[in-house]
Chain A
Amino acid sequence: MKESYIRMIQYLLAVVIVIIIGFHLQLFSSLIGPGYIHALSWSAVAARMNNPFYDAIYVILLFAVLTHGFIGIRNVVYEFISSQTKRVIASWVIFIVYIILLAYGLAPIIASAP
């Protein structure tokens, strides 16, 4: 895929993240204060997962953050490697790690889906 397409995907996902991150952090409640430990307890998370709105937020945010972040890591790694074959190898390694993390992150959401 051409580089401009990859960067455009990264920038569009950045917009998606900026819009959704407010919901995930629940910026207007006490989640990002010291109360975050209680909001992450088993019962609180289970209560949120029953709500399909939060499930959708989790899936979209997981995909967006991982894709945006790993395209960024790929950009940084490309700047340190000059050989084209090494760049392709590094790019595939990053892609494999990305797929593994995506699967690992989606598994509990799918497992606890109603």
Chain B
Amino acid sequence: MSEKTVKNVKFIIKRWDPNKGRFFTSVYTVPVHKGMTVLDALLYIKENLDHTLAFRCSCRMATCGTCGVIINGKPRLACETQILHLKTDTIIIEPLSNLPLVRDLIVDHRPFFEKQRMIKPYLIRRDIDEYWNPTREYLQTPEEHERYMQFSYCLTCALCYAACPTPATNIRFLGPQALMNAYRFIADTRDEGLEERIAVIDSPDGCWGCHFSGACSEVCPKGVDPALAIQLLRRELAKRVFGYVERREAARIAPALPVSKKKITKGPPPFTVEQPPKTT
């Protein structure tokens, strides 16, 4: 690498040993240049200092959500965190909290994905024929799209689940991502599935397990704001308690384009631009 080393930074990595069933710490010193991310440092350690270090990474550009770790106490994406912006000479890296540990910095995301499946993250509609044999798109205005668009940018990186204080004690809690995803579908005008999801959401492990600490929105790498979605979801549930059930018609499919019955007999109109001479 041709970049100039700015300083040496000490990395203290808390690793999980599955054979012994406990954490152990490894300390490395990494030369840091401007623009180096924590993921670059981890790869440097793996290539040059310690081949046994295990961690997950994939896109290295904050699009896949694979490399979530806890850096200096806060869950962050390793590929997105610049070492020099942390403004410290010691960086402590730990695996994500609230999820089962696999090895070193790797955690098992399966409980997180199972909870996401529990809220049925797909459009549910009553018109079965159109649903299974789609002919055309559903109509939706840009204003209706804005109601849930922000929450559809989620990467499912599980940083919010690690930052939330509730899953620390309640393992049945759905988590900010699942609840936000449920609101994303409930607020979608194309969806008619609120009744199907309500049993899972309206429980102490669903929407009411959230106590509005806002840590999920704080750590979200894409600015998706699960806290806002959950409070809006709570508002929907509260409206139902007072008997206000929103009866809106689901978005209908786009009307078919009219097919003209007239036969096209005329040719194209004459050219108005000068044509090159025909060479035949």
Contacts and interface: CB of A to CB of B under 8 A. Distances in A.
Interface in A63-99: 75, 78-80, 82
Interface residues of A, number: 11
B204 A80 contact: no
A8 B208 CA distance: 11
A4 B240 contact: yes
Contacts of B203: 3
A4 B208 contact: yes
Contacts of A42: none
Given A3-B208, A75-B204, A82 B170 contact: yes
Secondary structure at chain A's binding surface: helix, strand, loop or mixed? helix
A34 to B, nearest CB: 36
B204 A3 contact: yes
A5 interface: yes
A3 B202 contact: yes
Nearest to B203: A3
A77 to B, nearest CB: 10
Nearest to A79: B170
Given A3-B204, A75-B208, A79-B170, 20 more contacts: A3-B206, A3-B208, A4-B208, A4-B237, A4-B238, A4-B241, A7-B208, A8-B238, A8-B241, A75-B204, A78-B170, A78-B204, A79-B166, A79-B169, A79-B204, A79-B209, A80-B170, A82-B170, A82-B171, A82-B172
